[in-house]
Amino acid sequence: MFDLIQYIFDGLAVGSVYALIALGYSMVFGVLQLVNFAHGELFMVGAYFVMYAISLGLPWHLALVVGMCCVGFFAVAMERFCYKPLRGAGKLAPLITAVGLSLLLQNLVQAILGSNPQSYPATLPDGTVFGFIKSLFPPVDQVTLPQLPEGLFDWGQIVVRHRDLLIFVVAIAVTLGLELFLRKTRPGQGIRALALQPNAARLVGVPFDRTISLTFFIGAALAVVAGLLQGMADNQVTPYMGISSGLKAFAAAVLGGIGVIPGALLGGLVLGIAERLLVGYDLSTYKDGAAFFILILVLLLRPQGLLGKARMVKV
């Protein structure tokens, strides 16, 4: 019994990272009906960016904000140059483009930064561009690296790490904040209007392109938050980290009801807990398959996802 409770607690932390990535999938799908498969790579690029920024001596909050902005604008540019020209081309073309972008980013990072896992403190490779970046910062031998809180809540049978709790709280807070933003602010309402009825939204004056850019920006920024948390928790980032996390986050978004913000959170947490239960009962080999098994099961019973509303799609 205690074991079961323990696994559920562990799963909440793992699932929170999935949830943070899933939010971006969900929002983009909401407005464009596009599964942005390159989103997992934004998480990976964000994790790298923040790790290098912190290792160069930036305080973590500054590194996070700069990372969110840079990766956010990168996502906006990605949409402008890769998805926007394909807007009239049906749904398949942007989807394939997304898969291509995902592979491109993985291999680009691997080619430039190497495929070895990087840990704190990470050193940039040599070369003109990186040499220039390094020369902008004072040489820091002893950067005091930020750490996630290290303590434990130890209740005998059940142990919860402070950092797990922190990640969980961040995920809840971000989801709530995003939901508030979408309901209470004008740009947020614009995003919802576009998701609900694109043509009507345009008619009443929602700026189409700008709203879509905003959606991509927010999604990418949240992925950077997830990248920072995971990079600090594991002390390891790799060019491949976006693949499995991205795929699971996608499954989480669909599971919770794609396009529904709290659904992404719920989906992430459910997958996280399922994964930890399998590991706990010594079935870790089936861990990755299980996420998709649950997904199939839920979609058979509730095709719109756990929290999604059934919607008539005009064909």
Partner 1 sequence: MTTQNRPTRRVVLAALSVGLCSLGLGVSTLSHAAVTEVKVGVILPLTGDKATFGQESLNGLKLALDKAGKDSPQLKMQVEDTQGTPAGSAAAVNKLIASDKVAVIIGEVASSNTIAASAAAQSAKIPLVTHASTNDTITMGKEFISRICFVDSFQGAVMAKFAVSNLKAKTAAILVDSDSDYSRGLRDSFKQAFATAGGSIKDELVISYSQKDRDFKTQLMKIRKATPDVVFIPGYYTQVGAILRQAKELKLNTKFLGTDGWDSPDLFKIAGAAAAGHFVSSHFASDDTDPRVQEFVREYKTRNKENPGAMAALGYDAGFFMRAAIKKAGSNDPKKIRDAIASMKNFDGITGTITLDQNRNAVKPAVIVTTTEKEFKFLTRVYP
Q: Which two tokens stand for residue 128?
A: 């003109």
Residue 234 binds to partner 1 (criterion: CB under 8 A): yes
Q: Which two tokens stand for residue 192?
A: 């919802």
Q: Which stretch binds partner 1 (CB under 8 A): 36-44, 177-185, 274-282, 306-314?
A: 274-282
CB of 165 vs partner 1, minimal distance in Å: 13
Residue 43 binds to partner 1 (criterion: CB under 8 A): no
CB of 227 vs partner 1, minimal distance in Å: 13
Q: How far apart are CA 159 and CA 55, in angstroms?
A: 31
**Residues 27 and 191: beta-carbon distance below 8 Å:** yes
Residue 298 binds to partner 1 (criterion: CB under 8 A): no
For the stretch 160-167, contacts whose Cβ atoms lie closer than 8 Å and that sit 24 or more positions apart, written own/partner, are 160/9, 161/13, 163/13, 163/233, 164/9, 164/10, 164/12, 164/13, 165/13, 167/13, 167/16, 167/17, 167/229, 167/233
Q: Which stretch of DSSP H or E encloses residue 91?
A: none
Cα separations (Å) of 313 from 194, 199, 258? 15, 15, 14
Select 6 or 304, whichever has its Cβ closest to partner 1.
Answer: 6
Q: Which of 240, 216, 224, 221 is nearest to 103 (CA)?
A: 240
Residue 126 binds to partner 1 (criterion: CB under 8 A): no
Residue 111 binds to partner 1 (criterion: CB under 8 A): yes
Residue 39 binds to partner 1 (criterion: CB under 8 A): no
Q: How far apart are CA 241 and CA 119, in angstroms?
A: 13
Residue 276 binds to partner 1 (criterion: CB under 8 A): yes
CB of 68 vs partner 1, minimal distance in Å: 22
Residue 248 binds to partner 1 (criterion: CB under 8 A): no
CB of 102 vs partner 1, minimal distance in Å: 17
CB of 35 vs partner 1, minimal distance in Å: 22
Residues near partner 1, by CB under 8 A? 6-7, 10, 13-14, 107, 110-111, 114-117, 119, 150, 152, 157, 159, 161, 163-164, 230, 233-236, 238, 244, 276, 279-280, 282, 284-285, 287-288
